[in-house]
Amino acid sequence: MSRKTETTRIDIYARITDRIVADLENGVRPWVKPWSARNMTGRVSRPLRHNGQAYTGLNVLLLWSETVACGFNSATWMTLRQANELGAHVRKGESGATVVYASRFTKTETDPGGGEIERDIPFLKAYTVFNCDQIEGLPDHYYRAPDAITKPLERIEQADRFFDNTGAVVRYGGNQAYYSPPTDHVQLPEPAQFRDMASFVAIRAHETLHWTSASHRLNRDLSRYHKDRRERAFEEMLVELGAAMICADLGIVPELEPRPDHAAYIQSWAAILGSDKRAIFNAAAHAQRAVAYLHDLQPQAASEPEAA
pLDDT tens digits for 287-303?
999 999 999 999 975 44
The percentage of residues in the chain with a pLDDT greater than 70, rounded to a whole number, is 81
pLDDT at 150 over 70: no
The whole-angstrom separation of Cα 277 and Cα 18 is 8
Which of 65-74, 159-168, 230-239, 244-253 is modeled with the greatest confidence? 159-168
Q: What distances in angstroms separate CA 279 from CA 99, 191, 238, 241, 270, one per listed residue?
A: 16, 34, 10, 13, 10
Q: Is the pLDDT of residue 259 over 60?
A: no
How many other CB atoms are there within 10 angstroms of residue 267's CB atom?
14
What average pLDDT does range 77-98 have in this prediction? Answer: 95
110-144 pLDDT, tens digit each: 777 777 777 777 778 889 999 999 999 999 889 87
Do the beta carbons of residue 125 and residue 100 sit within 8 Å?
yes
Position 8 pLDDT exceeds 80: no
CA dihedral 216, 296, 202, 183 (to 10 degrees): -20
| Distance of alpha carbon 52 from the chain centroid | 17
Determine the pLDDT at residue 38. 46
36 contacts 72 by C-beta, under 8 angstroms: yes
- Rounded-to-integer distance, Cα 194 and Cα 197, Å: 7
Could you report how far apart the first and last alpha carbons of the chain are, in Å?
A: 27
Check residue 39 and give its pLDDT.
Answer: 44
Q: Give the residue among 97, 98, 83 at the shortest CA–CA distance from 50.
A: 83
Helix (H) or strand (E) holding 272: helix 262-275
Q: Does the pTM exceed 0.75?
A: yes
